[in-house]
Amino acid sequence: MIGVIRNSLAKLTPAERRVAEIILDTPHTAITWSISDAARMAKVSEPTVIRFCRQLGCDGFPSFRLRLAQALTVLRPETEPVLSGKAKPEAAVLDDIFARAGKAIDEARADMDIAVLRKSVKLLVGARRIDIYGYGGSGFIASEAQHRFASLGLASVSYSDPTLQMVSAPMLRRQDAVLAISFSGRNSYLIGNVELAKKAGARIVSIAPSGSLIAEIADQNIGLNAHRSGNSYNYVPTGRVAMHVVLDALTALMAGAMSFSTSAASASAPLRR
């Protein structure tokens, strides 16, 4: 059920998404709530909570709560830092940030689809050139991706400026690829430029929330449902940390695929006498 909620985030209305996010933040507490508690915590109406439940295939909040409780029984119990009255507030902040970062990484691993990763690796490794698009916070990850790909000997360039993306996209061809990185999957600049690249013939791999507009455009989407719409400082570990780890995994798989291809080519080469 946790995975179903995370995968539905991009398809929910803003009000329904607030319900989803507050439940994802405290799932073990959420199973004790009444529908009025859920509405109050998410700052939405009770009908919105019901619509959220129906989006997930539940008749109402009681049946949703039951399915959530059943799902949580097979998950690792959440552990909250136990602090004494003399604990320093800085320690509490550190414990919270590190706990959330670890949880984000665990959830990112649960998001990964091996078949999609395999196809994405094949597409990227086989490309003549890889353009990497990101915007805002994702722009920093795009630059990091270029550094990783350069270390593999792949021709790549990152663009975090939407104007430069718009200039580069029409120049791409079928043998080229775009890696589009987006926390939210709904940035209008990025969506438009990825569409331009696809119309030019480039194949698209994205790292974005499942069901988002970016994911729908891409040939292959590596689903990462770490984005939260809130402006809390907790956004950083739940988004960027997970994205870095996914990029680590993608790079490692690409390196392995390239090594295997080189070994296979060497083995099939005719011996010279």
Tens digit of each residue's pLDDT (9 = 90 or more) over 16-36: 888 888 888 778 888 888 889
* pLDDT score, position 106: 84
* C-alpha–C-alpha distance, residues 227 and 10, integer Å: 9
Instruction: Return mean pLDDT, the chain.
Output: 83
* C-alpha–C-alpha distance, residues 171 and 110, integer Å: 36
User: pTM higher than 0.85 for the full model?
Assistant: no
What token pair was written down for 72? Answer: 């949580």
Place 134 in a pLDDT band, splitting at 50, 70 and 90.
Answer: very high
* C-alpha–C-alpha distance, residues 20 and 135, integer Å: 25
* pLDDT score, position 228: 62
* C-alpha–C-alpha distance, residues 58 and 54, integer Å: 5
* pLDDT score, position 150: 93
* pLDDT score, position 81: 46
* C-alpha–C-alpha distance, residues 195 and 214, integer Å: 9
Please say if the pLDDT value at position 268 is more than 70: no
In order of 87, 117, 196, 197, 205, the CA distances from 202 in angstroms are 55, 18, 9, 6, 10
Place 143 in a pLDDT band, splitting at 50, 70 and 90.
Answer: very high
* pLDDT score, position 97: 80
Percent of the chain surpassing pLDDT 90: 39
* pLDDT score, position 145: 95
- Tell me the DSSP string of the chain: -HHHHHHHGGGS-HHHHHHHHHHHHSHHHHTT--HHHHHHHHTS-HHHHHHHHHHTT-SSHHHHHHHHHHHHTTSPPP------TT--HHHHHHHHHHHHHHHHHHHHHHH--HHHHHHHHHHHHT-SEEEEE--THHHHHHHHHHHHHHHTT--EEEE-SHHHHHHHGGG--TTEEEEEE-SSS--HHHHHHHHHHHHHT-EEEEEE-TTSHHHHHSSEEEE-----SS-STTHHIIIIIHHHHHHHHHHHHHHHHHHHHHHHHHHHSPPP-
* pLDDT score, position 87: 56
* pLDDT score, position 4: 83
Which residue in this structure is represented by tokens 């120049």? 171
What token pair was written down for 128? Answer: 């003549």
Place 266 in a pLDDT band, splitting at 50, 70 and 90.
Answer: low
* pLDDT score, position 153: 93
* C-alpha–C-alpha distance, residues 195 and 41, integer Å: 38
- Residues 35-94: tens digit of each pLDDT: 898 888 888 899 999 999 998 888 888 988 888 888 877 655 444 444 445 557 888 878
* pLDDT score, position 237: 47
